[in-house]
């Protein structure tokens, strides 16, 4: 049977999502638990990888079990083993051709920034910017990234294709907390963090809109702006076509 799970986790407690040798990762923790329950080795396939320190409230992964375990029974047993820094929100049976990564319709990330006084209790869960911002300038910069672009200047590592479409970016301020929401289908390594870094650099007058526009439109032009830290980033939600489910 093939199952799809929705996962929340505290990224500060793991070396990222992807399995690593001799390191505690989200994938390894869940796979070990499923292997105990199925009494067979189980491999999960995530919708995407999150780096060390990045959190999730809506990560997804699929896997196959030899046993046909009812969803609610599996949910209860799995959460009992992986508690407390990972929580499975839901489990659904899916069609055999479903893939957690390749069946994605849309992803949503949220980046959290704290502009108030430094707090040791927020260190793992916010980028502690600890200063006032020019919200109008931040929104002005964010508008540039909406649409279809080659994001090579905002992605870490080598890829065959850097093209992506961002459908929406929203910046919300609630007193000292800033949330930047990104929606699109494909986000590559460090992409959201680099886009946030560019917004912050523009807000500090370290670059202008013409430079950022050139970074987006000229695939021969290479330039690096700030990379925002991992601890403020959350994989918030992933959308699938409901026809994929049983």
Residue ending a domain, among 71, 102, 133, is 102
Q: Quick check: is 142 in a domain?
A: yes
Confidence at 117, pLDDT banded by 50, 70, 90? very high
Task: Check which CATH number belongs to the domain holding 219 and give it.
Answer: 3.30.70.660
Q: What is the pLDDT of residue 245?
A: 57
Q: What is the pLDDT of residues 38-56, one digit of tens each?
A: 999 999 999 999 999 999 9
- Mean pLDDT to the nearest integer, 149-164: 94
Q: Are residues 95 and 132 in the same domain?
A: no
Domain annotation covers residue 202: yes
Per-residue confidence (pLDDT) for residue 241, from 0 to 100: 82
Give me the mean pLDDT over the 194-202 stretch: 98
Mean pLDDT (the chain) is: 96
Q: Which of 38, 51, 176, 201 is catalytic?
A: 51
Q: Is residue 6 part of a domain?
A: yes
Q: Quick one: pLDDT at residue 45?
A: 97
Which ranges constitute the DSSP H helices of the chain?
Answer: 26-38, 71-82, 135-144, 191-203, 209-217
Least confidently predicted of 84-88, 124-128, 145-149, 157-161? 157-161
pLDDT at residue 242, rounded to an integer: 66
Number of structural domains in the chain: 2
In a shared domain, residues 139 and 198: yes
Domain region containing 144: 109-237
pTM of the model: 0.94
Averaged over 124-150, what is the pLDDT? 97
Answer yes or no: do 87 and 124 share one domain.
no
Q: Please check whether residues 16 and 60 belong to one and the same domain.
A: yes
Considering only CA atoms, which of 55, 56, 44 is closest in space to residue 18?
44
Residue 10 lies in a domain: yes
Asked if the structure places residue 245 within a domain, the reply is no
Query: CATH number for the domain including 11?
Result: 3.30.70.580
* Pair 55, 89 in one domain: yes
Residue 212 has what pLDDT?
97
Q: Are residues 10 and 63 in the same domain?
A: yes
If DSSP codes are grouped into helix, strand and coil, which group holds residue 136? helix
Same domain, yes or no: 12 and 132: no
Q: Which of 54, 76, 102 is the last residue of a domain?
A: 102
Does a structural domain hold residue 151? Answer: yes
Residue 176 catalytic? no
Query: What proportion of the chain, given as a percentage, has pLDDT over 70?
Result: 98
Q: Kind of pairing, strands 55-64 and 233-240?
A: parallel
Domain finish residue from 102, 119, 146: 102
Position 148 in a domain? yes
Position 157 in a domain: yes
Q: What is the pLDDT of residues 61-107, one digit of tens each?
A: 999 999 999 999 999 999 999 999 999 999 999 999 999 999 999 99
pLDDT of residue 228: 98
Tokens at 135, concatenated: 């919200």
CB atoms within 10 A of CB 109: 25
């Amino acid at each position: 049977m093939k199952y799809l799970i929705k996962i929340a986790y505290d990224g500060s407690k793991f070396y990222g999502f992807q399995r690593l040798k001799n390191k505690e990762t989200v994938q390894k923790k869940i796979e070990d638990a499923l292997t105990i329950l199925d009494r067979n080795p189980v491999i999960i396939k995530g919708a995407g990888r999150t780096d060390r320190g990045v959190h999730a409230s809506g990560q997804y992964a699929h896997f196959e079990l030899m046993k046909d375990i009812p969803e609610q029974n599996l949910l209860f047993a799995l959460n009992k083993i992986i508690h407390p820094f990972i929580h499975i929100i839901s489990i659904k049976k899916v069609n055999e051709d479903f893939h957690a990564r390749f069946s994605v319709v849309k992803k949503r990330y949220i980046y959290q920034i704290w502009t108030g006084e430094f707090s040791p209790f927020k260190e793992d869960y916010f980028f502690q910017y600890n200063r006032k911002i020019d919200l109008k300038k931040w929104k002005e910069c964010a508008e540039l990234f909406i649409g279809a672009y080659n994001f090579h200047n905002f992605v870490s590592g080598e890829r065959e294709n850097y093209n992506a479409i961002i459908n929406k970016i929203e910046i919300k301020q609630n007193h000292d907390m800033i949330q930047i929401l990104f929606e699109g289908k494909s986000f590559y390594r460090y992409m959201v963090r680099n886009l946030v870094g560019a917004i912050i650099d523009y807000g500090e007058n370290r670059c202008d809109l013409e430079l950022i526009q050139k970074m987006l439109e000229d695939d021969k032009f290479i330039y690096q702006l700030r990379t925002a830290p991992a601890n403020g980033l959350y994989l918030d939600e992933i959308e699938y076509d409901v026809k994929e489910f049983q």
